Amino acid sequence: MLKFENVGMRYGTGDEVLRDLNFHLEAGSFHFLTGPSGAGKTSLLKLLYLAHKPSRGLINFSGKDIATQSHRDLPKIRRRIGIVFQDFRLFEHMTAFENVALPLKIHGATDAQIKDHVEELLAWVGLKDRINARPSTLSGGEQQRVAIARALINKPDLLLADEPTGNIDPEMGRKIMHLFVELNKLGTTTVLATHDQEFVKSMGASVLMLERGRIMQLPGHTPRDPQKKKWGR
């Protein structure tokens, strides 16, 4: 589904912040992206959500070499990737409904399709009663769930989340994490970036560990026993 071969990345003419990345994420798998601050997690996420091009190497997404895609073709690929940012990045002048509807509008969905899908998804993340609320009136956990709903509304092939529990309290963090597990069950390949090693260990999922721009631990085979590891596929 997603393959990195000898990938390196640098900002401008600076030194490489990511070096010799080689890994493969299978479709429907679940992974944590971990490492200390400055290890390159955010840079790797930027490569994954196509905000940056590699300075070398090959990134293959669903059989397509990202480097050879034209500027015009990249938006179509981006629509297959859902992103949840640490700071949520919701549009403050829009309601929860409008924020979640945005990817569908970009995709060209009809008003009826948008209404059905958005209401259903917001209900699924527990925000049925907050549909018309603006982000400034929502709690951190609610904003995070709106951000997750927005990332999922297009049924992405790949879901990326950058420190999704970083700005919310621990209890809400656990709920959000379980929400990602549920999403993964629907078939979405999921990568969660976090520096919370304790939490990663407690979940027992596949880990891609970075340190000083290099991979120190490759993503392993995702456990499949649904009783022991809920995110297995």
Q: Does residue number 212 form part of the binding site for other proteins (CB under 8 A)?
A: no
If we measure between CA atoms, which residue out of 63, 47, 34, 50 comes closest to residue 205? Answer: 34
- CB neighbours (10 Å) of residue 38? 13
CB 83 within 8 A of CB 49: yes
Mark 9-38 with x for binding to other proteins (rule: CB under 8 A) and - for no binding. Answer: ------------------------------
Q: Write out the H or E segment, with its range, that includes residue 182.
A: helix 170-185
Between residue 137 and residue 166, which ones bind other proteins under the rule CB under 8 A? 154
- For residue 82, what are its two tokens? 């859902």
Instruction: Tell me which stretch binds other proteins (CB under 8 A): 8-16, 29-37, 75-83, 118-126.
Output: 75-83
Q: Does residue number 115 form part of the binding site for other proteins (CB under 8 A)?
A: no
Q: For 63-155, list the strands marked E by DSSP.
A: 64-65, 81-84
Q: Kindly state the smallest distance separating residue 146's Cβ from other proteins, in Å.
A: 14
If we measure between CA atoms, which residue out of 181, 112, 171 comes closest to residue 141? Answer: 171
Q: Which is nearer to other proteins, 15 or 92 (CB)?
A: 92
Burial bucket for residue 126 (CB in 10 Å: 0-12, 13-18, 19+):
middle
Do β-strands 189-193 and 206-211 pair in parallel, antiparallel, or remain unpaired?
A: unpaired
CB 22 within 8 A of CB 67: no
Residue from 51, 123, 186, 216 binding other proteins (CB under 8 A): 51
Q: Kindly state the smallest distance separating residue 221's Cβ from other proteins, in Å.
A: 30
Q: Kindly state the smallest distance separating residue 132's Cβ from other proteins, in Å.
A: 16
Q: Kindly state the smallest distance separating residue 72's Cβ from other proteins, in Å.
A: 8
Residue from 24, 91, 212, 216 binding other proteins (CB under 8 A): 91
Residue from 23, 49, 124, 199 binding other proteins (CB under 8 A): 49
Total residues binding other proteins (CB under 8 A): 26
- For residue 36, what are its two tokens? 């200390």
Q: Which is nearer to other proteins, 61 or 231 (CB)?
A: 61
Positions touching other proteins (CB under 8 A) are 49-53, 71-72, 74-79, 83, 89, 91-94, 98, 102-103, 105-107, 154
